[in-house]
Amino acid sequence: MKIKICGITCLEDARRALEAGADLLGFNFYLPSPRSITPEKCAQILSGLNKDQFDFQTVGVFVNETPTNIEAILRLCELDLAQLSGDEPPELLDALQGRAFKAIRPVNMNSAIEDARVYARLGLTPALLVDAFQPQKYGGTGRTGDWLAARDLADHYSILLAGGLTPGNVMGAIEQVHPWGVDVASGVESAHGCKDPIKLIEFVKAARSRDKEV
């Protein structure tokens, strides 16, 4: 089970997330988000991590950003992947040549299937991030998504499940959806953009509990 800790805003939280067992760190470049940081700050955080000590990937979160700016930030911060969390066209995924995946917020099962048809790229991991739907919001709401729709997609694609996950419900979400990985931000925070070290440990422990049973 892959675990993405999103909305990292400081070096201490990045280290704590990796020490807890995170596989992916997410950095938000959407200015209206309470977890947004500058590319320069992201680069500074990543330069302070011992990459020989931890095995992890880095993800930049973008909302309706231009391809030129996305590529520039990926290059400046040396990020592995771009997460497109806005209203981006599918052509942007192709323009980024395998370095991006789309976050979708399906309203129902039919919209989930249609979004996956348009945005999922087979062979890429993850192929999609499935988040909770809320009008006028681009994720990070703390609301739980449609796990039934997510389960249907997980049968066909490698998905990251997001939306209202916490240490208390992530095990149940995994048992129901069987995703490739899970994504959390507010569910492990003590305040917007500030990760709680105890919640980080509890979340990873709960998410990995099924791995130990197999």
**pLDDT digits 0-9 by tens, 3-34:** 999 999 999 999 999 999 999 999 999 999 99
> Bridge-partner residues for 181, per DSSP?
2, 160
CB-neighbour burial class of residue 180 (10 A; exposed 0-12, middle 13-18, buried 19+): middle
pLDDT value, residue 46: 97
Q: Over 50: is that where the pLDDT of 214 sits?
A: no
CB atoms within 10 A of CB 81: 20
Measured distance CA(72)–CA(82) in Å, rounded: 11
Q: What mean pLDDT comes out for the span 150-172?
A: 95
- Check residue 146 and give its pLDDT: 82
CATH number, domain of 124, equals 3.20.20.70
Residues labelled catalytic: 6, 131
- For residues 147 and 159, is the Cβ–Cβ distance under 8 A? no
For residue 75, give the nearest of 47, 39, 51 by alpha carbon.
39
Question: CA 193 to CA 34: how far, in whole Å?
Answer: 7
Please give the residue range of the domain that contains residue 147: 2-213
For residue 89, how far is the Cα from the chain centroid?
19
Across residues 103-128, what is the average pLDDT?
A: 93
60-88 mean pLDDT: 97
Look at residue 135 and tell me whether its pLDDT is greater than 70: no
DSSP character at residue 188: G
Q: What is the pTM of this model?
A: 0.93
Collapse the DSSP code of 102 into the 3-class scheme (helix H, G, I; strand E, B; otherwise coil) and give the result. strand
Mean pLDDT is lowest, of 4-18, 110-124, 138-152, for 138-152
Report the pLDDT averaged over residues 42-71. Answer: 96
**C-alpha span between 122 and 79 (Å, rounded):** 21
pLDDT at 123: 86
Number of domain units in the chain:
1
pLDDT tier for residue 213 given thresholds of 50, 70 and 90:
low
Q: For residue 51, what pLDDT is reported?
A: 83
Does the pLDDT at position 190 exceed 70? yes
Question: What residues does 159 pair with on adjacent strands?
Answer: 128
Cα dihedral 200→204→205→210 (10° resolution):
160
pLDDT over 80 at 179, yes or no: yes
Q: Which of 91, 92, 62 is nearest to 74 (CA)?
A: 62
pLDDT, mean of residues 166-180? 96
Q: 3 near 204, Cβ under 8 Å? A: yes
Res. 140 pLDDT band, cuts 50 70 90: low
Mean of the per-residue pLDDT values of the chain: 92
The least confident of 100-104, 183-187, 209-213 is: 209-213
